A and B are shown apart, each in its own frame.
Chain A
Amino acid sequence: MGLPQVSLVDVASYLPGSTVGTEYFTQFARSDRMAKNEMLRAPRTRHHVARDETAVDMVERAVAPLVERHGQQAISNIDVLLTHTQLPDNPVLGPGSEVARRLGMTPGWVIDIHNGGCAAFLHMIGLARMILQTTAARTALIAASQNSAGPVFTQTEVRKLAQAAVPGDGCGVGLLVKNSEAPILDVQTRTYPEFAGDMMFCTDVTGSGTFDRDRKYWEPGPGQPCVSFTESRIAKVFTRGNRLVPELAHAVCERIGVKSRDIDVFVTNQPNRLFLRNWREAMGLPPEQHPDTFDSCGNLFAAGIPVTLDAENRAGRLRNGSIVLMAAFAHAGDFAGAAAVRWGAAR
């Protein structure tokens, strides 16, 4: 009668290269004051993917510990492969099929997800669970790659922006199995069309911090590309984020019949320290129950949740049986999601 349970049985992650300190950016700051502000607000370190390292490489490296723990056979037999890549290496094609080849898989379902932004891991949990619950598929691998920090935010003009010091690169993966070892208790995702379009891709960031969008990204030209938000709407986007993440997190709490204060671990996306503080306040949870990797890894976009889960799990801070609540919002607020798991991946 009921749908079968689906578990998030394991997570793993990969952080490329050595850490890059904030002084890399402050040396390019447009003023001393800006440099000081960056030191204050930016993460202490972050990782940058190398120029020739692809999203496929990142996923392969993130999956390596799963191969070690579950065996090559388990990975080869994956039925469902979902990927999300912040900056696709090939703009007209996601990396799914190449990931499958690299990992020796022949999944029945390969889907490259290009929406969901910082909440894409939750989006993929929801989709993978649905596929496992409603088809013969038994296992799924979901992979979130944030690979824009190195390529985009170290460009000579872009790195002068205050926002350049915030992103970091990394990849997080999750293994889902149709069983009840570590059941996904609920997933909620919502799209907010009214907030679509407030995030733009500009093709020419100038040193003075202006964003030109005249040239299409596929047209030749000298400008440096970057994602930007309309400056005057920053506070609106901030307020949306303040609202959306607790809204979805509370919705999941209500559906699974748990008070937010009784959540054992709360993991969110990590755009900046203010969001982290505000969301934790909204859930009534102390900082130690809301771990993040912002200070060492920066904003990892969609990879933030699985990278943090893996770091906490490796540190032995996620107990089996505890309730882990994840929540995030995407872009300028056009998507948000939350999911709760009864943890079962402790080692």
Chain B
Amino acid sequence: MTTSALPALSDIEDRTIPGVLRIENSDREATAPIIMDRLRSVYPHDQIFGMFCPVQDYIAVPPRELYAYLADPRSLEEWSYGMRGFAETDQPGLWVAADRLVPDTEIYIRTVANPDAMTVDYHCAWDQGEHLWMVYLMRVIDAQVVLNKPGSVVTWINCHHPFYDENPYPETAPPGREEWVGDLWEMFSAGHKLELGNLKAIAEYRASHGLPITPDWMR
């Protein structure tokens, strides 16, 4: 076996970038204490869920069927906490629903799904469908591959888009609404986990009762 035969980082002066720890410049003995230092009993909420909000779970249903269910935005009518009344707009693939978390608020949603990677990205926004900046990145993984058992692993990542901190389109908001979706960012980790729990319970119920994961009403 050869080692380091490839010209890795050869375009960089001295092949050195500050902060890059590779076995060439930080051997295992030197790196171990850095690793141990980063293993804590507790982690501040903001460190884990501040800039990104990852949630994930195992769901005991076949991955391909779960993917197909998620790829239809109307599945949110079932497993989301409060998005209701999905209707397709006059733009194909762009759906609108009421986000019943707050009064009089519409949420626009388009799914961008890739059946090969089994990724389902929900591109959404409150109030307007022109700029879908709230993007929920979901991926279904065959649990046989990653957990050595039948079923699915679902990962879901949300990124803290600057618009969460300030509504860029205040003119589209219903008059008198004081709450902004980004006010809820700190609750997203728990809230998304709750919704992922809904997804798991619904899908596993159908699978264990011989029902199709995607119900007839969505077909």
The answer on A and B forming one complex is yes
Measured between C-beta atoms, what is the minimum distance from A31 to chain B in Å? 9
Cβ–Cβ contact B41 & A282, under 8 A: yes
- Asked if A278 and B36 make an inter-chain contact with CB atoms under 8 angstroms apart, the answer reads no
- Which residues of the partner chain B approach A235 to less than 8 Å between Cβ atoms? 35-36, 39
> How far apart sit A237 and B43, CA to CA, in the bound complex (Å)?
18
Measured between alpha carbons, how far is A274 from B41 in the docked complex, in Å? 10
The stretch of A18-26, A122-130, A239-247 that contacts the partner chain: A239-247
User: Can you report 27 A-B residue pairs in the complex whose CB atoms are below 8 A from each other?
Assistant: A33-B29, A37-B33, A41-B33, A235-B35, A235-B36, A235-B39, A238-B36, A238-B39, A239-B39, A242-B40, A245-B41, A246-B41, A246-B42, A274-B36, A274-B37, A274-B39, A278-B39, A278-B40, A278-B41, A278-B42, A279-B41, A281-B40, A281-B41, A281-B42, A282-B40, A282-B41, A282-B42
Asked if A242 and B29 sit within 8 Å, CB to CB, the answer is: no
Least distance between B177 CB and chain A CB atoms (Å): 36
Number of A-B contacts (CB under 8 A): 30
Whether B41 contacts A243 by the Cβ 8 Å rule is yes
How many angstroms from the CA of A91 to the CA of B155 in the assembled complex?
54
Which A residues have a C-beta under 8 Å from some C-beta of B? 33, 37, 41, 235, 238-239, 242-243, 245-246, 274, 278-279, 281-282
**Size of interface on B: residues with Cβ below 8 Å to A:** 9
For residue A243, which residues in chain B have a CB less than 8 angstroms away from its CB?
A: 41
- Point out the residues of chain B lying under 8 angstroms from A33, CB to CB: 29
* Cα of A278 to Cα of B42 in the assembled complex, Å: 7
CA A74 to CA B75, docked complex, whole Å:
74
Majority DSSP secondary structure for residues of B touching A: helix
Distance, CA A243 to CA B39, complexed state (A): 11
Query: How many angstroms between the C-alpha atoms of A87 and B33 in the bound complex?
Result: 29
Contacts of B36 in A (CB 8 A): 235, 238, 274
Listed from nearest, the 10 A-B pairs whose CB atoms lie closest are: A282-B41, A278-B41, A242-B41, A282-B42, A278-B40, A246-B41, A281-B42, A238-B39, A279-B41, A274-B36
With A242-B40, A243-B41 known, 15 other A-B pairs at CB within 8 A are A235-B35, A235-B39, A238-B39, A242-B39, A242-B41, A245-B41, A246-B42, A274-B36, A274-B37, A274-B39, A278-B39, A278-B42, A282-B40, A282-B41, A282-B42
Cα(A33)–Cα(B29), bound, Å: 10
Q: Which of B14-57 contact A (CB under 8 A)?
A: 29, 33, 35-37, 39-42
Chain B residues whose C-beta falls within 8 Å of the C-beta of A37 in the assembled complex: 33
| Neighbouring A residues of B42 by C-beta, 8 Å | 246, 278, 281-282
Inter-chain CA distance A242–B41, complex, in Å, is 5
The smallest C-beta distance from A328 to any residue of chain B, in angstroms, reads 14
- Chain A residues in 8 Å Cβ range of B41: 242-243, 245-246, 278-279, 281-282
Residues of A within 8 A of B37 (CB): 274
List B residues 33-87 near A (Cβ within 8 Å). 33, 35-37, 39-42
Closest residue of A by beta carbon distance from B44: A281
CB distance from A60 to the nearest CB of B (A): 38
Q: How far is the CB of A29 from the nearest CB of chain B, in Å?
A: 13
What is the bound-complex CA distance between A97 and B89, given in angstroms? Answer: 86
